[in-house]
């Protein structure tokens, strides 16, 4: 520091002045903007927190949808398998039956209802697969199956005996 007397003011005390002043190229207040402020850090953490919550929510939803899809697919296969079992038996009996899916699939139980339709020999078959714990319906499958009615005395084979002889000859 250079000590000199200011002649214009005629003060008896010396005035202290710096010899040279270094100028900051960014301006006199640049040191205030050289780091992140607490508010900026808090906003960044808030944005990351919201993004992470959204990501976790999306993953949870995707996993739940995947599990629900697996449940629906298994129930659909069980219902279709039950109807195929009815077809393989070769005859239909009107009424209701219930059952479970055994130890392999303890979550499921099924209920089938066979009822006659308007056309003789046609039956409406409904298979409902339910959650065995809650009883809530998971999947429902309805279809029509044809089971020819038993032959009556008015059947064509009784009226025309020649056709029945031809059929009997083919079987031998």
Residue with tokens 């005859």: 91
3-state secondary structure the chain: CEEECCCCCCCCCCEEECCCCCCCCCCCCHHHHCCCCHHHHHHHHHHHHHHHHHHHHHHHHHHHHHHHHHHHHHHHHHHHHHHHHHHHHCCCCCEEEEEECCCCCCCEEEEEEEEECCCCCEEEEEEEEEECCCCCEEEEEEEEEECCCCCCCCCHHHHCHHHHHHHHHHHC
CB 146 within 8 A of CB 122: yes
- Whole-model pTM: value is 0.56
Query: What would the pLDDT profile of 111-146 be if each residue is shown by its tens digit?
Result: 999 999 999 989 999 999 998 888 889 899 999 999
**What pLDDT, on the 0 to 100 scale, is given for residue 66?**
92
Query: What would the pLDDT profile of 20-79 be if each residue is shown by its tens digit?
Result: 555 555 555 555 556 788 999 999 999 999 999 999 999 999 999 998 898 889 889 999
CATH number of the 38-149 domain: 3.30.1300.30
CA distances (Å), 122 to each of 75, 85, 114, 145, in order? 25, 17, 10, 6
**What pLDDT, on the 0 to 100 scale, is given for residue 126?**
96
Q: How far apart are CA 171 and CA 125, in angstroms?
A: 33
DSSP bridge pairs for 129? 110, 139
Report whether pLDDT(14) > 90.
no
Q: 10 Å Cβ neighbour count for 116?
A: 13
3-state secondary structure 29-41: CHHHHCCCCHHHH
The full set of domain ranges for the chain reads 38-149
CB 125 within 8 A of CB 86: yes
């Amino acid at each position: 520091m250079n000590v000199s007397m200011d002649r214009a003011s005629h003060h008896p005390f010396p005035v202290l002045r710096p010899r040279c002043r270094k100028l900051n190229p960014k301006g006199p207040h640049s040191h205030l903007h050289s780091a992140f402020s607490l508010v900026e850090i808090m906003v960044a953490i808030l944005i990351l927190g919201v993004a992470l919550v959204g990501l976790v929510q999306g993953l949870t939803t995707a996993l739940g949808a995947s599990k629900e899809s697996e449940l629906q697919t298994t129930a659909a296969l069980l219902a279709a398998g039950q109807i195929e079992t009815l077809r393989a038996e070769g005859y239909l009996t009107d009424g209701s039956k219930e059952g479970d899916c055994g130890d392999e699939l303890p979550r499921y139980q099924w209920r089938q209802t066979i009822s006659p339709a308007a056309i003789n020999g046609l039956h409406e078959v409904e298979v409902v697969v339910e959650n065995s714990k809650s009883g809530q319906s998971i999947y429902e499958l309805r279809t029509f199956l044809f089971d020819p009615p038993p032959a009556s005395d008015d059947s064509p084979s009784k009226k025309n005996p020649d056709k029945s002889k031809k059929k009997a000859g083919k079987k031998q």
